[in-house]
Amino acid sequence: MESGRCEPNRVLLVLMLAGLFAWLSLDAVSLAPNRIVSGTPYRAFQILGGWPALALALPMLIVAGLAWRSSRQALRAALWGVLALLTLLPWWLVAASVDLVEPGMAQARVGIGASIWLLLFVWLLALIELRTRLELSRPLGWLLLLPVLTSWWLALTWGQAPLSLYREYQARSDQFLTAVSTHLALVGAAVGTSLVLGALLALAMRRHPGVRRASFGLLSFLQTVPSLALFGLLLAPLAWLGARVDMLAAIGVSGIGWAPAFLALLGYSLLPMVRNIYVALEEVDPAVIESARGMGMSRRQVLLQVRLPLALPIVLEGIRITTVQAIGLTAVAALIGAGGLGTFVFQGLGQAAMDMVLLGALPILGLALIADATISALSERLRPGGAP
């Protein structure tokens, strides 16, 4: 992009105007005297005399103006403006909480309204747009989020704001850490096992076409079975095995718990893993294989030293798809007693407590985004001609 005036960045302009509309027209927070009673909604300009709300509205107008100019310098300034907005927002929440909660309201909770959630969504999309237009690397993009995350952490821990979502976390911090570790353990076990089995199946498919047809047919059928139905189908046989095989019972195999969750996640993970590994190995340039064989390499050496390194970026794409899918599906495993972050989601739905739902749903979303970004960056780095 040249330094002179260019075409307006309409994406950034629309995002800023949408954020401004949400900030001015939708509820920013709600105040409830306790966890049970519904909260009273407040818009941003109804709090703190309205001036702090204006302090966030003006930067959005400035970024919209910079988007209209759309020069490289303007987009750099817009990037810093969006980062400043994301950094200041948690402190506005702290100030709003202090203003709304009167002394003596020990059980009061301040809920985050639709305006705040939409602002976060819009501003993060704006960051992605600006990172793409400015051609910033993925590591630098994540590094830019560091001050934003630090600001949110300081605001929540030092600001002592009675935000309902943070209160839910404080009340269940030990359970939360256990749920995160359980969630990650189930995902790691399912993805790791599917990688090993997927590699073995892909190698067998390359030698035996019959294995390829049967395996793809079976794995495709498993993908069509709804997750809850698959969990239900596994309950009876696993309960029978756990009751009759002492060794299985000793490791916790039963009709509910980790065993059916692990097998279901494994079944759903195999198809994308096997497909990507098989395609990656098959699409290696035949001329490269012939050159390797001409150099006297054995079949094993060709596989390990030529095929696999060239296929690795596509294999990583399969791992990325499988991991993101497994992170989401593991939430459903809470319904059969497997634990994980889905426990908070379903408990919150049962109690009509949306903050408890968010306590489980937001970390799931965060884990999926982190896994997707990390594995995508690694795949791009390993791809020939990819990012340095």
Statement: residue 69 has pLDDT above 90: no
Non-local (6+) Cβ contacts of 351 within 8 A are none
- Residues 265 and 314: their CA atoms lie apart, in Å, by 21
Q: What is the pLDDT of residues 134-161, one digit of tens each?
A: 888 777 777 888 889 899 888 877 766 6
Q: What is the pLDDT of residues 77-119, one digit of tens each?
A: 999 999 999 999 999 988 888 888 876 666 778 888 899 999 9
| Mean predicted confidence (pLDDT) in 24-32 | 88
CA dihedral sign of residues 210, 216, 222, 225? negative
Bridge partners (DSSP) of residue 43 are: 27
Q: What is the pLDDT of residues 300-324, one digit of tens each?
A: 787 778 888 888 888 898 899 999 9
CA dihedral 50, 53, 55, 57 (to 10 degrees): -130
pTM: 0.82
pLDDT of 384: 63
pLDDT of 385: 54
* Superfamily (CATH) of domain 173-382: MetI-like (1.10.3720.10)
What is the distance of C-alpha 143 from the center of its chain? 17
Tell me the three state secondary structure of residue 134. Answer: coil
Lowest mean pLDDT among 149-163, 194-208, 345-359: 149-163
pLDDT of 308: 81
| Mean predicted confidence (pLDDT) in 265-277 | 90
Residue 190 near residue 265 (C-beta atoms within 8 A): yes
